[in-house]
Structure 1
């Protein structure tokens, strides 16, 4: 009897191993394969999102097939909704473990049109463009009138609280390396009896300076690159005018991540100004300095 049970278990395991998975299926842009395409779109967008937080797929809102054929597959345009999570891009946590923000935290949604086709039997994203917007302040006031509201990421007073928080972290940290600011992820504010309060989230990166030498020569400290650097994510709060800044940071082990783009707002036209969030920039990036075609360029005068 025991041998029959073992044999049945082996047969069941072999059968399960032989069943096709999403990675084994030949993607052909069919409607019943939209889950494959949306997963690829979610992954691709996050891989090319260089600032702010990871986004998670929420819903498929529309689909349309273009007439042009790519290999054996119609190119499909999917309208999808993504929501911003609480995981910053430097956080190595898998996306399925990241939670999306609640309404009271000013939820951020991205409506994207993603063009997907089949390349060697796999779903491949060709381009996308997204409209990224936070929930309106009126909605937040209706659901939570006492909740903090978002500030522009370049608010001077809020940035001063971030600077003070980072100085406090480096001073009290047990890490040998000095960390510098990579970017501010979010800033919110709330008025209290003691004055205006600030709540900030920001990413930091490890430098080639030690904690002892950095304060005297901060500008010369260069961020480490690639898999040599450790990154971190901090949350700070400053209650009122007189209270000291509180700060807590998570430091992640070195990982091979791509450095963010130099300019914090490479596609500011796709988000309300002044920006309080990081938008999902279009892919491929638009050519902003495109010259006129050759056939309309003025010809040089004859010699």
Structure 2
């Protein structure tokens, strides 16, 4: 018996390592109309928000600020006021959001204050809507007093920051061990800091998706199309870049595809519909902004705040002070509607009676149909739900014969 278990153990470990799904999602308690049922309702709301938040980073429930139950004929309506905290897990990370690490204050923490409405009828609960105010926990001026040497966040489409992103993507595609080229899915965040030895420094976090282009081909990587959602591998990379020395380090975590079935003889990768080459910030995959914005933008109205290189874990730290004359020009307006995902169906549906299944939690769509316009262009906001219907071109009525 012991030998039999030991023989199977390496296989189990390999499966867990490949799928990254060994930690099961915590069960969600049933939501009721009782006055003491706020915790279960809040957990259900957090699962629903995570299921529909398909860009940026995952959030965890921090605190229940308000819980109100209103009786109706067929059950009740529950109103929740919740505080959520951003984690360091990007949405392509297969880890369940409750297992993710909260971003620390020195890493420029992000919080969301959410109002959620849940309807309960016949012992079934459903999220009707939610709206969240997503912001940096501390403004730049507040952070400058707490940690004057900490880096600050800049716009996700900051022109100089995007130079570092483009260089990082190019470095990843120079890795000969990757079978295919990777293209930019989205920029997670960009931090800047001044160091007297290297000038302005940029630390970017980016999400990449595997494309159909084989590594080493003559095709320009920026022209490559991402693979279908279940067939694509993903990578989450952190890079460092300085204005004087260019690209420094690039470190990536790779996540396997959910569908690893080998193609048959003569069979080609399926083509999936998506908006080619555009992420939800209006950038092409080459890292350029095509919305006509060229000014760099601080994350809020108080300027850039403190500066400094990342600490040993790559998430921010201390360094030289910034020069007093370094100022941003104001944040560009956050343009660019999100394209549809590969199968043309956009984000996931509004099921709210439990956590997403492991396959859906494991893999987020590489492209999105909807992305809201946050007031802070340095972070990814939680978009309201249900998402508004996309606006199509107005059709002129047919003239009567």
- Superposition TM-score, scaled by structure 1 size: 0.81
1:158 and 1:85, CA in 2 relative to 1: closer, same or farther beyond 3 A? same
| Match 1:153 to one of 137, 152, 156 | 156
For 2:383, the equivalent position in structure 1 comes to: 281
C-alpha distance in 2, partners of 1:262/1:29? 35
- Residue pair 1:192, 1:240 contacting (<8 A) in 2 also: no
Larger of the two Rg values belongs to structure: 1
1:132 and 1:173, CA in 2 relative to 1: closer, same or farther beyond 3 A? farther
RMSD: 2.8
Flag the structure with more relative contact order, 1 or 2, with Cα contacts below 8 A and sequence separation at least 6: 2
- 5 Å-filtered alignment, 1:32-51, equals 32-51=36-55
For 1:57, the equivalent position in structure 2 comes to: 61
Q: Which moved more, 1:236-245 or 1:157-166?
A: 236-245
Structure number with higher helix proportion: 1
| Match 1:142 to one of 125, 132, 145 | 145
Aligned residue-pair number: 269
- Residue pair 1:180, 1:206 contacting (<8 A) in 2 also: yes
1:200 and 1:220, CA in 2 relative to 1: closer, same or farther beyond 3 A? closer
C-alpha distance in 1, partners of 2:131/2:366? 19
| Match 1:101 to one of 100, 103, 106 | 103
- 5 Å-filtered alignment, 1:78-93, equals 78-93=80-95
For 1:272, the equivalent position in structure 2 comes to: 375
| SS of structure 2 residue aligned to 1:42 | helix
- Superposition TM-score, scaled by structure 2 size: 0.62
1:192 and 1:115, CA in 2 relative to 1: closer, same or farther beyond 3 A? same
- 5 Å-filtered alignment, 1:1-303, equals 27-66=31-70, 68-69=72-73, 71=74, 73-134=75-136, 135-193=138-196, 194-213=198-217, 216-255=219-258, 256=359, 257-262=363-368, 266-268=371-373, 271-273=374-376, 275-287=377-389, 289=391
- Residue pair 1:62, 1:80 contacting (<8 A) in 2 also: yes
C-alpha distance in 2, partners of 1:243/1:227? 35
Structure number with higher strand proportion: 1
- Residue pair 1:36, 1:123 contacting (<8 A) in 2 also: no
For 2:274, the equivalent position in structure 1 comes to: none
- Residue pair 2:229, 2:365 contacting (<8 A) in 1 also: yes
Q: Which runs of 5+ in 1 are unaligned?
A: 1-20, 291-303
Q: Give the deviation of 1:67 after TM superposition.
A: 5.1
Q: Give the deviation of 1:59 after TM superposition.
A: 0.3
| SS of structure 2 residue aligned to 1:180 | strand
